[in-house]
Amino acid sequence: MQHSSLLLTGGFLLATLAFGAADALLVEPFPVVPAEQESSSSVSEVPAEPVPPSPEETPPPSPEESSTPLPETPMPEPVEITPPPEPSAEPPPEGAVAKRSGIDTLGIVTNQGFTAEETTQKSLLSAIVQDPSQVTTRVLLLEGDRAGLLAWIETSNVKQVFLVLKESLHTLFSPEVRDLLDEIQAPAGKPIRNFLTFFDPQLSEERFVFIRIRERLYEFHIAPGKDEAMYRLVEELTE
């Protein structure tokens, strides 16, 4: 009797433990190992040697890393230069600024202390006209050091040339272009002029300045440290 009671009690305890274990399985799920932890645990701790990308997988350099501008649009058609009109002998209307004819550009350059030397260096103006020989280009030296470059043309359709120049610059600008200024200036007692300047280290270490005044369009390249002398020349040539 006592033996039967002990067997019955032991069986009851075993059944209780079994139901408890089953209940625990239903209520508390097994912890899930995150994918990152699982993958990291299966990888050896010894760092693998980096595999260089194949030439086909190597990405092309971005425009910021490129050493040359990468135009995405074609350059505008070169402009045909027409001769400037003959100066009129009649006096200008009252209040108007008289046109300055017969400008001695190289004489003014010399008077400002510069030495002008012929050069094979191409200006941006020579790239937008049909006949580059109509563009006069000189390297400017100041006390033996390069101060910059001066190029100019004189034509009756100078406004058209200036517009084409601005269109072409949009295809040449790199993402690093800065200090861009494009405005119409009306200095007191002087004719109205278009003034465009910018600095783009991908194009040149020199600043670019373009001025359209009367029938002339000037292109200046200003070397670092020569700003004051070059801007004095700009003012003298645009009187």
Residue-range domain boundaries for the chain? 105-237
Kindly state the tokens that stand for 116: 């002008």
Q: What confidence score (pLDDT) does residue 200 get?
A: 97
Domain 105-237 of CATH type 3.40.1000: yes
| Residue environment code for 185-212, b if the CB has 16+ CB neighbours within 10 A, otherwise e | eeeeeebebbbbbbbbebbeebbbbbbb
| Residue environment code for 35-46, b if the CB has 16+ CB neighbours within 10 A, otherwise e | eeeeeeeeeeee
What's the pLDDT tens digit per position in 66-87? 333 334 445 667 777 777 666 5
What's the pLDDT tens digit per position in 54-66? 544 444 433 333 3
**Residue, of 202 and 99, whose pLDDT is higher:** 202
Are 142 and 123 a contacting pair, CB within 8 Å? no
Tell me 74's DSSP state.
P
What's the pLDDT tens digit per position in 113-134? 999 999 999 999 999 999 999 9
Average pLDDT, the chain: 76
Question: Across the beta sheet with 136-142, what order do the strands follow?
Answer: 115-118, 136-142, 145-154, 216-222, 207-213, 193-199, 178-185
